[in-house]
Amino acid sequence: MNDSYLQFVNSPFGARLARSVGLPRPEVLRRYRADRPEFEGLVAIGGGREPRLFDALANLVASIGVTSVAHGSAGLWVPLATRHGLMTGRFEAAEPGSPGRLAALLFDASGIEDSSQLAPLYQFFHDTLRSLGKCGRIVVLGRPPQACASPRQWTAQRALEGLTRSLGKEAGRGSTANLVYVAQGAESGVEATLRFFLSPRSAYVSGQVVSIDAGGAGDTAGAHAPPAFDWAQPLAGRRAVVTGAARGIGASIASVLAAEGAHVIGIDIPSARDALDATMRQLNGTALAFDIAAPEAAAQIAAALDELGVDIVVHNAGITKDKTIAKMTDATWQSVIDINLSAQERIDDALLGAGILRDGGRIIGVSSISGIAGNRGQTNYATSKAGVIGRVQSMAPSLRARGITINAVAPGFIETQMTAKIPLAIREAGRRMNSMSQGGQPVDVAQTIAWLAHPGSAGVTGQVVRVCGQSLIGA
Amino acid sequence: MNDSYLQFVNSPFGARLARSVGLPRPEVLRRYRADRPEFEGLVAIGGGREPRLFDALANLVASIGVTSVAHGSAGLWVPLATRHGLMTGRFEAAEPGSPGRLAALLFDASGIEDSSQLAPLYQFFHDTLRSLGKCGRIVVLGRPPQACASPRQWTAQRALEGLTRSLGKEAGRGSTANLVYVAQGAESGVEATLRFFLSPRSAYVSGQVVSIDAGGAGDTAGAHAPPAFDWAQPLAGRRAVVTGAARGIGASIASVLAAEGAHVIGIDIPSARDALDATMRQLNGTALAFDIAAPEAAAQIAAALDELGVDIVVHNAGITKDKTIAKMTDATWQSVIDINLSAQERIDDALLGAGILRDGGRIIGVSSISGIAGNRGQTNYATSKAGVIGRVQSMAPSLRARGITINAVAPGFIETQMTAKIPLAIREAGRRMNSMSQGGQPVDVAQTIAWLAHPGSAGVTGQVVRVCGQSLIGA
């Protein structure tokens, strides 16, 4: 739960020592606090040929109330910003050695149609990266490759992924870099996602690629148009189920969703009843003690939720029982698969079949970096967590008709009671082998889930977002 | 070029020392040699419910001439093997401590339709993994998730990926684990791919997921049916272009393709003319000196190949010019993007437009782990190599009509003159951070390309296969 190295090297003495002997000094990540401004500072804007998302970006800049500066690659920005009534200026490189004064770098690559047109990306990041402050934000915007009209355009758009991931590794000092593909027609649905990636809420999310499709934005006239919401309390009036909510990451998810306005229904096993009750009391939530491993639990949960329905389902409950497969027992294999994967299937079938999960709803599964990369001693866990990715990919298409999204988060090394028990050397490797040189906090997972649960995230579905500080550990 | 630690710990004294002080001891990988049997030893067969690929596996086992043993999960195997006239037995676990006697573990998971049906996978690998010998082979077979009829089936099939990748990390001792999805109707097209994954040719390919679609097998009546070939000389009569063929990985690719029977046309820059001539002379190939960075080179290459056409194009030529983006020059960015990515586009357009690449042809691009994961100091290289992945994904669909496949290989840490120049500490990290605890050899990349170039690989297209020893470094 406690990264004492991070604390030490950020103490006055520790920082001096680290500097003098050349130790790495992970940045203390800036995280969201209700009593501090969520957005502040200057945002530099860059663009390739025919940047088609500038209108959406101007709306965003106006909405979050920051000041933009236009890089030379974004000649169209200044007149556009003026039309939108924005304060704006021109980017000028900082003096060498002066502290970075930019809070974020935003590049609109949506109009790039050929690999020969990628140079403005180089020019923008070459000029601006040194001016990015601590815990800065880099967002590259493009078009979903698979929807591109020509192989050349697809190729150029796909190339952005290599750039963005490299920028995440170069930026350092707690900064993140992410790539957002915006489908044609989805331009009006980008705000919730861009707010997340520009906010301290995404402190531990870097190197990720997210697509926004027109499912939400394109359907504003339809039955599943996102209802009006308040950016300060976007989940007001929503009911959210969180499994495994008594403690740890689950309690953090419950807490963040409640802070966003949701009424939280926390589920945990009967033996955790006291902790669950205490957590839910704090949040004015509802506690439901069920063992999701029990075959009848799904029907019981559905019955308990039936009257008022539910808008958000977070499948957080999960267990680890690590052993190499040669030493693992049959029961150990089976219980991990059942609780981490099959129980999610049973619960969703019960809630969807009876219409208890309302139209426009949100399903979020908790996967894991182990489900992506596999892990020694976790054949059972990795299988279950890879299956969670399969659920998201398989169910997203059919749920679109009801305006329901389904996504997964895949945590990397998160500081919890569970990871505190890992032997020191392995724990240190897990903590440091990422672009932040530190583990994440439960709240980082919770904030990512809150973004996916957001009414403004209607265009984000079928996706897996890692909360891993851009962990080196991949696949 | 030389992993002295690997050599040392596998010397008699080094091995004793490593054992006594607990140093890791990477296995000397068994690689293909024309003077040794490619397939030998026992293959254990396992299966889930309704294993639908057993017929294809029986044909394979007969074709490569190994003996199979049926695990308890594969009750249907024994009568089937008898029908196919195969020598077969029943799997019995080795005595604890006795050396592994199995050369390969093959599990047919194609009939699994629900997460509750995954237990036979546990049972098979629990029972057999300890009996797998050094440099053993694990192949899990399933159905492509995205083609599954139900979300439950998709989920269960997708879960196999977490299992397979974990097995690769647990198997150790130079063993590999890979997952092959076989589409319905593609059963008769699996042999070339399964031969590759069972052979020492795939020594450094682990943790990979490959799909075989019916594009080749399903089309046997059509115009693009794979022509008859000889497993010993599958590329006989084929003409293969290899760019960057003078030295290193390119020369190794040329050499392996020539050994498989192809006539190789090696391309390299005029300044490498002597080395290129020497390499091509050895292989009875043809040397073409062109600078692919020159705008007119694509047309010149097309003109030079015009008369006889070409069957296989390997885009291997590439450069690195590493600098962080803040310090990188415009020319450095541009030349890496142009040579590694845009030149491939220009050449393919010239060859495809004029019909010089014949129907049933093969295009193989060399990407990189950096193109997948990004890399510090390689924004240009990673962008170009991510673009290569985009080319493969974008062009595969339209090339199907002509029976042409396009795929990429993504090398991890390969021992070359280039990697020999990396500073020791970084080089050692790159070498050891994979399931083989060592770097790969150029021939490992070359053999993977030869598999993709194989006439029997008609159902493999649009894919990216890492040659990285299951490197930890992912995304």
Q: Which residues of chain A have pLDDT under 50?
A: 217-224
Residue B25 has pLDDT above 60, yes or no: yes
Helix, strand or coil for residue A291? coil
Q: Mean of the per-residue pLDDT values for chain B?
A: 93
Q: Are A391 and B155 a contacting pair at CB < 8 A?
A: yes
Please indicate if any CB of chain B lies within 8 Å of the CB of A341: yes
User: Quick one: closest CA in A to B126, which residue?
Assistant: A326
User: H/E element holding A130?
Assistant: none
Residue B79, number of CB atoms within 10 A of its CB: 11
Asked if the Cβ–Cβ distance from B166 to A118 is below 8 Å, we say no
What is the distance between the alpha carbons of residues B430 and B211, in angstroms, rounded to a whole number? 28
Q: B199 and chain A: CB distance < 8 Å anywhere?
A: no
Structure tokens at B435: 């399931």
Across B213-232, average pLDDT? 66
Tell me how far CA of residue B178 lies from CA of A325, B172, B196, in angstroms.
16, 14, 11
Contacts of B163 in chain A (CB under 8 A): 374, 379, 382-383, 386
C-beta of residue A463 within 8 angstroms of C-beta of residue A405: no
Query: Residue B162 and residue A371: Cβ atoms within 8 Å?
Result: yes
Across the interface, of B158, B374, B390, the residue whose CB is closest to A154 is B390
A456's CB contacts (< 8 A; 6+ apart) are A189, A191, A192, A193, A216, A226, A229, A234
A410 neighbourhood in chain B, CB within 8 Å: none
Single-letter amino acid, residue A259: A
The verdict on A397 touching B (C-beta cutoff 8 Å) is no
What confidence tens digit (pLDDT) does each residue in B385-399 have?
999 999 999 999 999
Q: Do A374 and B167 touch (CB under 8 A)?
A: yes
Measured CA to CA, the distance from residue A20 to residue A367 in angstroms comes to 41
Q: Which residues of A touch B378 (CB under 8 A)?
A: 166
Q: Which residues of A touch B125 (CB under 8 A)?
A: 325, 379
| pLDDT, tens digit, 9 for 90 and up, residues B298-341 | 999 999 998 899 999 999 999 999 999 999 999 999 999 999 99
Q: Which of B119, B148, B326 sits opposite A126 (nearest CB)?
A: B326
Q: Does A293 touch chain B (CB under 8 A)?
A: no
- How far does Cα B78 stand from its chain's mean position? 31
Is the distance from CB of A1 to CB of A416 less than 8 angstroms? yes
B145, B160, B207: residue with CB nearest A394 = B145
Which two three-digit tokens encode residue B368?
């990189």
Q: Report CB contact under 8 Å: B475, A151.
A: no
Considering only the beta carbons, identify the residue of A118, A164, A473 that sits closest to B337.
Answer: A118
Q: pLDDT band at residue B222, thresholds of 50, 70 and 90?
A: very low
Q: Is the CB of B395 inside 8 Å of chain A's CB atoms?
A: yes
d(Cα B230, Cα B235) in Å, to the nearest integer? 8
SS3 state at B187 = helix
Alpha carbons B15 and B18: distance in angstroms, whole number: 5
**Where are any strands of DSSP class E within B71-153?**
88-90, 102-108, 132-142
Q: How far is A274 from chain B (nearest CA, A)?
A: 31
DSSP string, B402-454: GT-EEEEEEE-SB-SHHHHTS-HHHHHHHHHSBTTSS-B-HHHHHHHHHHHHS
Residue of A nearest to B209 (CA): A475
Say whether B165 and A374 touch across the interface (CB within 8 A).
Answer: yes
Q: Do B328 and A122 touch (CB under 8 A)?
A: yes
Test A383 with B333 for CB contact under 8 angstroms: no
Rounded distance between C-alpha atoms, residue A341 and residue A318, angstroms = 9
For B111, the 3-state DSSP assignment is: coil
- Per-residue pLDDT for B351 more than 60? yes
Q: Which residues of chain A lie closer than 8 angstroms to B475, CB-CB?
A: 165, 207, 372, 466, 474-475
Residue B189 to chain A, least CA–CA distance (Å):
25
Among the partner-chain residues A333, A386, A389, the one whose CB lies closest to the CB of B122 is A333
Q: What is the pLDDT of residue B296?
A: 96
Question: Which of B132, B140, B155 is the best mutation test for A, with the most CBs of A within 10 A?
Answer: B155
Task: Out of A126, A151, A472, name the one closest to residue B328 (CB).
Answer: A126
- Which residue in chain A has the smallest CA separation from B380? A163
How many other C-beta atoms lie within 10 A of the C-beta of residue B429? 14
Is B206 near chain A, with CB under 8 Å? no
When CB atoms are compared, the residue of A123, A162, A371 closest to B383 is: A162
Indicate the DSSP class of residue A440: B
Instruction: Tell me the nearest-neighbour CA distance from B184 into chain A, angstroms.
Output: 18
Q: Which residues of chain B does A372 touch, with a Cβ-Cβ cutoff of 8 Å?
A: 162, 474-475
CB pairs < 8 Å spanning A and B? 262
Selection from B222, B149, B137, B150 nearest residue B180 by Cα = B137
Q: Which of A130, A148, A374 sits opposite B326 (nearest CB)?
A: A130
Taking an 8 Å cut-off on Cβ atoms, the answer to whether A154 and B334 are in contact is no
Where helices occur in A205-272 by DSSP H, the ranges are 214-217, 248-259
Instruction: Supply B224's token pair.
Output: 């693009």
Asked if B161's CB is within 8 angstroms of A394's CB, the reply is: no
Nearest CA-CA distance, residue A387 and chain B, Å? 4
Least Cα distance to A469 among A428, A411, A426, A427 occurs for A411
For residue A1 the two structure tokens come to: 């739960």
List active site positions of A: 381
Cβ count near B13 (within 10 Å)? 9
Yes or no, beta carbons of A130 and B380 under 8 Å apart: no
User: Is there a catalytic annotation at residue B381?
Assistant: yes
- State the Cα–Cα distance between residues A294 and B68, nearest whole angstrom: 40
- Beta pairing class for B405-411 and B464-467: parallel
Which chain B residue has the Cα nearest residue A147? Answer: B394
Chain B interface mutation, best of A154, A178, A341, A394, highest count of B Cβ atoms under 10 Å: A394
Contact A393 B158 (CB under 8 A): yes
Of B130, B165, B379, the CB nearest to A166: B379
Distance CA B322, CA B332 (A): 9
DSSP letters of A177-195?
EEEEEE-TT-GGG-HHHHH
Say yes or no for a CB contact (<8 Å) between B122 and A207: no
Instruction: State phi, psi for A444 to the nearest 5 degrees.
Output: -65, -40
Q: What is the pLDDT of residue A226?
A: 60
In angstroms, the CA A241 to CA B327 distance is 49
The answer to whether A310 touches A361, Cβ cutoff 8 Å, is yes
* Residue of B382, B267, B259 whose CA lies nearest to B314: B267
Instruction: Decide if A167 contacts A191 (C-beta within 8 A).
Output: no
What does the pLDDT read at residue A301?
A: 97
Chain B residues within an 8 Å CB radius of A337: 115-116, 118-119
Does residue B275 have a pLDDT over 60? yes
Domains of chain A from N-terminus onward: 37-212 (3.40.50.720), 239-467 (3.40.50.720)
- Amino acid identity, position A456: G
Burial zone of A114 (CB within 10 Å; 0-12 exposed, 13-18 middle, 19+ buried): middle
Interface of A with B in 50-109 (CB under 8 A): none
**Interface check A442 vs B, CB under 8 A:** no
A275 burial level (CB within 10 Å; 0-12, 13-18, 19+)? middle
Q: How far apart are CA B188 and CA A332, in angstroms?
A: 37
Amino acid type, B444: D
All residues of chain A having their beta carbon less than 8 Å from the beta carbon of residue B144 are: none
The span from the CA of B122 to the CA of B140, in Å, is 12
Looking at residue A19, the DSSP 8-state letter turns out to be H
CB-CB neighbors (< 8 A) of A395 in chain B: 151
Spatial CA neighbour of A313 closest among A355, A347, A353 = A347
Residue A195 falls in which region: left (phi positive, over 0), alpha (psi -120 to 50) or beta: alpha
Site from A130, A146, A158, A466 to mutate, B interface, most B CB atoms within 10 angstroms: A158
